[in-house]
Amino acid sequence: MLRARSLLLLRLAAPAAGCGPAARLVPARLFAAAPPPPAATAAAVSAEPFINGSNSSYVEEMYVQWLRDPSSVHASWDAYFSRTAGGAGPGAAYMAPPSLAAPSANSLPVSALVAPMVGGAARVPGAAASENTIADHLSVVGVIRSYQIRGHLVARLDPLEIERKPVETASEIVVRGYMQNFDEQDMDTVFQLPSSTFIGGREKALPLREIVNRLEQAYCRSIGVEYMYINDLEQCNWIRQKIESPGIMQFTNDEKRLILARVARATGLESFLARKFSSEKRFGLEGGEVLIPAMKHIIDVSSAMGVESFVMGMPHRGRLNVLANVCRKPLEQIFAQFAALEVADEGSGDVKYHLGTYIERLNRVTNKNVRLAIVANPSHLEAVDPVVQGKVKAEQFYRGDSDGNKAMSILLHGDAAFSGQGVVYETFHLSDLPAYTTHGTIHIVVNNQIGFTTDPRLTRSSPYCTDVARVVNAPIFHVNGDDPEAVMHVCQIAAEWRNTFHKDVVIDIVSYRRNGHNEIDEPMFTHPFMYNKIKKMPNLTDKYSKKLIDEGTVNADEVKDVIDRYEKICEEALEASKKETQIYNKHWIDSPWSGFFEGKDPLKMSDTGVKEETLTHIGKRVSSAPPNAVDFVIHRGLQRVLNSRMEMVESRTVDWALAEAMAFGSLLKEGYHVRLSGQDVERGTFSHRHHVMHHQKVDMATYRPLCYLYPDQAQYTVCNSSLSEFGVLGFELGFSLTNPNALICWEAQFGDFCNTAQVIIDQFISSGQAKWVRQSGLTLLLPHGMEGMGPEHSSARLERFLQLCSEDPEYFPPFAADEFAIRQLSECNMIVANCSVPSNYYHILRRQVHMPFRKPLILMTPKSLLRHPRAQSSFDDMVEGTEFKRVLPDTAAAGQSPSGVRRVIFCSGKVYYDLEKAREDRGLQDQVAIVRVEQLSPFPFDEVKQQLDLYPADADIVWAQEEAKNNGAWAFVEPRFETTAAKAKVIRYVGRSCSASPATGSKTAHTKELNALLNEAFDL
């Protein structure tokens, strides 16, 4: 008690500026601490006889509340705090409250409670009675609060009951010392209920016994809820009401029958699969089958509230069941996946528990149409989370669903993965950012209390597997998976929560895994104790039907009928599936683009050049401050940038930033949405872009010139992201799946940072089309180049991207000249380029949208070239009739008269400018040709061959690169040059030697290395 009292004193008396009454006026951001009172006030409060260890924090909290708004606390407290602040000493500030104010709803003056107490008399007469009354009252409030905060710790969540606490321990864990003031007699004392609880329903006061009983019912049965950390009081109260209101968890008989039917289907499918395909891995849901009615209930409730499209992401566990019973994917198609049938269409396919789906159907409960998509995913647990979010965001964006009322995401998780994978955290942190929010995701954890062979006690340091969600103030509902009605209740709350507050919410279904990790795995090796219990667990249909039979809701025949009917459906579907001779990957596509491919010539690409007036118009707009906004104060440095941009436009020249703006602007003009996302992209890491101008005098006043080019243009989105690569790149990939008529770009701060998003690159970008017949035109902008900045900030790891390209290095495609480029593009898995001129950057961006199909584009982008005087292009290379150049031939004398050339240097990207200058310095323009390979993959075999043929047969052929020999494009281009030259010529490497580190940390070493490279390149 002493400790608590001095703590309070310390906290209240902490020195701070601006204290005193005026502090009440401090407008509080929600998380701002209230200012402390004068030290005298603190001392007086802490010395009050009624302050003790169990109520001090309550008083403190109320005090903080009072400081913000005196009317928010009970009038008696208002009077008390006012008097204390006015100098009243310990014991003198308290006044019996009746005269203060009329009681508000759900609150009674403390004095009104004195009479009913302990046989109608105050416990101790006189002033002491008042003190006791207050102390008791505070203890009751403490008890209520304890259940709200800690009730979940003892809730009966585990169907296996492995860690069930004895009642006494449970009560200690929850109420701690708050019950110490009371003895058995006090349990019948009636106490006023504070406004922070709804357990009373219409009652304003209850006997203590009933208070505790109702709190136990609400917080310590099959549902354990965590929400008291939520800063928003309205949200807290909303949940309290949904959990505490008496009788709130009641279901009609029809509702119970529906739950039973759904449970029966879920268990029925698993047992059917187990019998028919006993040796197949399917990662069954047994032990967690309640997931199926849970998801269906969420969809029903959300559909009733207007949601039309549900995009779901989920891991392996129970996927087939979700496909069959939530999405209603035809069972024949699911069963056919078990037979080793040939694939009849394109793609390498994927295992059955990774496949996506897209279904439009009538929701029979709401009689409304819904669209259900499960996004295909790799084995990599949780990697699909941000992809789902991006896909939903795009749906919301394109249909103008600005609050997420029409489209929503549901993410399913395993307990081990949810707590272990960092991308979960990254995804949560996107949930409230304007350009990334999907306005609330419902997360469901199928918490089978095990991850493969590992016990939760050894896989996480947090008490719950869901703790990560607390960072975004999401409420978390833990629920016993063997109590289907409790599960439906939390699903109802979760769906309503999302619809009301548009924020994330988590449902943690505590269940078990009846079999091993998969069906052929032996769990007894590692979990004998747990699995001996599991063996005795009845199946959920049996358990729930018994309950319903016992209470008279259904009879045994009805139950049997439900089970038999579904068995029959499965049998018939299995028979039908046996007639299938082939499977189609396209049946499993999650993002169909209806109307996009139809009627298009797959080898015809529209022009990427535009009218000069378009270039000029866009150029001028992005070189100007807001039109008509004379008051918009631009930073002087930015004004200089704009001025020099304008000069460039006037001289028909573009640099990198201008080329990009013209690519984006012209696409916007043509009606294509453009989205550029990534860290600091609005200004640009290198301060070159400035797509968002900031008023220097008005906070948050900005101007985005690309949004105001034409009255009927498409929308431009440019958004600084959270400091995440995995999450944000996944998000943008998801965004790109929804609508092919858009250019979606993600820019890395420096190219090397994209390696924290490697899963998205390996598992989705490079292989998504092959596995899931799903295209994406996502564009990655990766600043790359050796500039003496050290091992990091230098390399975007070009070599890794090239290694992921599926093109055969030993095969010269026999395509006709006029369709060589487009056929290569149509057959590749992704495009990798390292452009050296702005015009090519502009064309390749525009080409992304003008191709008749979609391919991911990986672009190495420059840093120093952003301001390099030679890295500029003329409008002439961008107007109608011009196009992307895969290879840039030599532009000097060597290219004009090739016969005298002794060496041809091929290169890619920024090193060209170093080579060009070195050649000039050495006066070798007529003897050494420099050819740039701008598009590395697909490799321009045809144009490289033209270049090789152009120069004398005995000319020395060299590949020069600035990256170390084991990095960069060398390993990729070498075999392709050999193939191009039909092995008649050898290409030699010039550049840095092999290195473990991407670049040196020493500026001097960097310069030396560069000079050595240049000397070797020109050592004729």
Ligand X SMILES: Cc1ncc(C[n+]2csc(CCOP(=O)(O)OP(=O)(O)O)c2C)c(N)n1
Contact 378, 616 (CB under 8 A): no
Q: Which CB, 285 or 320, lies closer to Mg ion?
A: 285
Of 287, 414, 705, 785, the one binding Mg ion (CB under 5 A) is 414
* Strand bridging mode 779-783 / 935-937: unpaired
Contacted entry of Mg ion, ligand X, none for residue 812, CB cut-off 5 to 8 Å set by kind:
none
CB of 294 to ligand X, least distance (A): 15
By the rule CB under 6 A, 462 interacts with ligand X: no
Question: Cβ closer to ligand X: 417 or 559?
Answer: 417
**Is residue 503 near ligand X by the rule CB under 6 A?**
no
| Residue 424 is a binding residue for ligand X (CB under 6 A) | no
Residue 459 Cβ vs ligand X, minimum distance, rounded to whole Å: 8
Cα 438 from Cα 504, distance rounded (Å) = 9
Contact range with Mg ion by CB under 5 A, out of 381-389, 410-418, 462-470, 889-897: 410-418
929 binds ligand X (CB under 6 A): no
Instruction: Establish if 510 lies at the interface with ligand X (CB under 6 A).
Output: no
Map tokens 């891991």 to a residue. Answer: 315
State how far the Cα of 699 lies from the Cα of 702, in Å rounded to an integer: 8
For ligand X, the closer CB: 182 or 452? 452
Per-residue contact flags (x/-) with ligand X for residues 515 to 554, judged by CB under 6 A: --x-------------------------------------
Please identify which residue in 104, 180, 379, 1007 interacts with ligand X, judged by CB under 6 A: 379
Residue nearest to ligand X (CB): 414
Least Å distance between CB 893 and ligand X? 56
Stretch that binds ligand X, among 369-377, 410-418, 468-476, 920-928 (CB under 6 A): 410-418
158-176 b/e (C-beta count within 10 Å ≥ 16 → b): bbbeeeeeeeeebbeebbe
Window contacting ligand X (CB under 6 A); options: 27-35, 408-416, 824-832, 871-879: 408-416
Residues of this chain, 440-479, that bind Mg ion according to CB under 5 A: 448, 451
The answer to the question of residue 71 lying near ligand X (CB under 6 A) is no
Which of 796, 939, 911 lies closest to 860, judged by CA? 796
Q: Is 883 in the site for ligand X (CB under 6 A)?
A: no
* 944 within 8 A of 971, measured Cβ to Cβ: no
- Distance, in Å, from the CA atom of 164 to the CA atom of 937, rounded to the nearest integer, reads 60
CA dist., res. 914 & res. 259, Å (int): 71
Does residue 508 touch Mg ion according to CB under 5 A?
no
Q: Which residue type is seen at 960?
A: A
- Which DSSP letter does residue 220 get? S
Q: From CA 870, how far away is CA 885, in angstroms rounded?
A: 18
CB 211 within 8 A of CB 136: no
Q: Contact between 287 and ligand X (CB under 6 A)?
A: no
Contact criterion met (CB below 8 Å) for 1006 and 999: yes
The DSSP annotation for 890-921 comes to --SHHHHSGGG--EEEEE-TTHHHHHHHHHHH
Q: Which does 523 bind (CB under 5 to 8 A by kind): ligand X, Mg ion, none?
A: none
Q: Does 511 bind Mg ion (CB under 5 A)?
A: no
Q: Is 380 in the site for ligand X (CB under 6 A)?
A: yes
CB 854, CB 605: distance < 8 Å: no
Residue 448 Cβ, how far from Mg ion at the closest point, in Å? 4
Min dist CB 352 to Mg ion, Å, is 20
User: How far is residue 606's CA from residue 831's CA, in Å, rounded to a whole number?
Assistant: 18
Q: Tell me how many residues contact ligand X (CB under 6 A).
A: 15
Stretch that binds Mg ion, among 160-168, 407-415, 576-584, 820-828 (CB under 5 A): 407-415
- Sheet with 716-720, strands from edge to edge, namely 716-720, 673-678, 742-747, 779-783, 857-861, 831-834, 935-937
Q: Residue 174 in 3-state DSSP?
A: helix
Contact region with Mg ion (CB under 5 A), list: 107-115, 180-188, 413-421, 778-786: 413-421
For position 466 contacting ligand X by CB under 6 A, the verdict is no
Q: How far apart are CA 277 and CA 886, in angstroms?
A: 52
Contact (Cβ atoms closer than 8 angstroms) between residue 14 and residue 32: no
Total residues found in the chain within this entry:
1020
Stretch that binds ligand X, among 374-382, 576-584, 830-838, 963-971 (CB under 6 A): 374-382
By the rule CB under 6 A, 370 interacts with ligand X: no
Q: Quick one: what does residue 675 bind among Mg ion, ligand X, none, with the CB cut-off 5 to 8 Å set by partner type?
A: none
Tell the smallest beta-carbon distance from residue 1001 to Mg ion (Å).
Answer: 44
583: phi then psi, degrees, rounded to nearest 5: -115, 155
Task: Check binding of 286 to ligand X (CB under 6 A).
Answer: no
Closest CA to 432 of 405, 404, 410, 464: 404
When asked if residue 414 is in the footprint of ligand X (CB under 6 A), the reply is yes
Whichever of 349 and 456 has its CB closer to Mg ion, that residue is: 456
State the SS3 of 343-367.
ECCCCCCCCHHHCCEEEEEEECCCC
Residue 655 engages ligand X in binding (rule: CB under 6 A): no
Return the number of the residue (527 or 854) whose C-beta is nearest Mg ion: 527
Residue in 93, 174, 291, 450 binding ligand X, rule: CB under 6 A: 450
In this chain, which of 284, 356, 451, 785 binds ligand X, going by CB under 6 A? 451
Q: For the segment 787-846, give every residue that binds ligand X (CB under 6 A).
A: none
Burial of 867 per CB tally in 10 Å (0-12, 13-18, 19+): middle
Q: Is 415 in the site for Mg ion (CB under 5 A)?
A: yes
Q: Least distance in Å: CB of 499 to ligand X?
A: 28
Contact of residue 74 among ligand X, Mg ion, none (CB under 5-8 Å per partner type): none
Distance CA 742, CA 783 (A): 22
C-alpha dihedral sign at 745, 749, 752, 758: negative
The one segment of 411-419, 706-714, 789-797, 905-913 that binds ligand X by CB under 6 A: 411-419
Nearest to 608 by CA among 841, 908, 770: 841
350 binds Mg ion (CB under 5 A): no
Contacts of 109 (CB under 8 A, 6+ apart): 74, 75, 76, 97, 98, 100, 103
Instruction: Decide whether 765 or 944 has the Cβ nearer to ligand X.
Output: 765
973 contact choice in ligand X, Mg ion, none (CB below 5 to 8 Å, kind-dependent): none
Examine residue 354 and tell whether it contacts ligand X (CB under 6 A). no
Q: Is 682 in the site for Mg ion (CB under 5 A)?
A: no
- Please name the amino acid found at residue 292: I
Q: Please state the closest distance from residue 449 (CB atom) to Mg ion, in A.
A: 7
Nearest of 550, 152, 583 to residue 340 by alpha carbon: 583
Rg (Cα) of the chain, in Å, rounded?
34
Is residue 384 at the binding interface for ligand X, with CB under 6 A as the rule?
no
CB of 368 to ligand X, least distance (A): 31
Q: Which stretch binds ligand X (CB under 6 A): 126-134, 154-162, 266-274, 448-456?
A: 448-456
**Minimum CB distance to Mg ion smaller for 60 or for 482:** 482
Min separation Cβ 964 and ligand X, Å: 30
E-state strands within 170-241: 190-192, 205-207, 223-226
- Count helices and strands (H / E) in the chain: 35, 28
Closer Cβ to Mg ion, 97 or 288, answer by number: 288
Q: Where are the alpha helices (DSSP H) in 206-323?
A: 208-219, 233-244, 253-276, 291-304, 319-321
How, if at all, do strands 357-363 and 368-374 pair? antiparallel
281 binds ligand X (CB under 6 A): no
With binding defined as CB under 6 A, does residue 763 bind ligand X? no
- Closer to Mg ion at the Cβ: 451 or 788? 451
Backbone angles phi, psi at 310, to 5 degrees: -120, 120
Question: Which residues lie near Mg ion (CB under 5 A)?
Answer: 414-416, 448, 451
Question: Which residues lie near ligand X (CB under 6 A)?
Answer: 317, 379-381, 414-417, 446, 448, 450-452, 513, 517
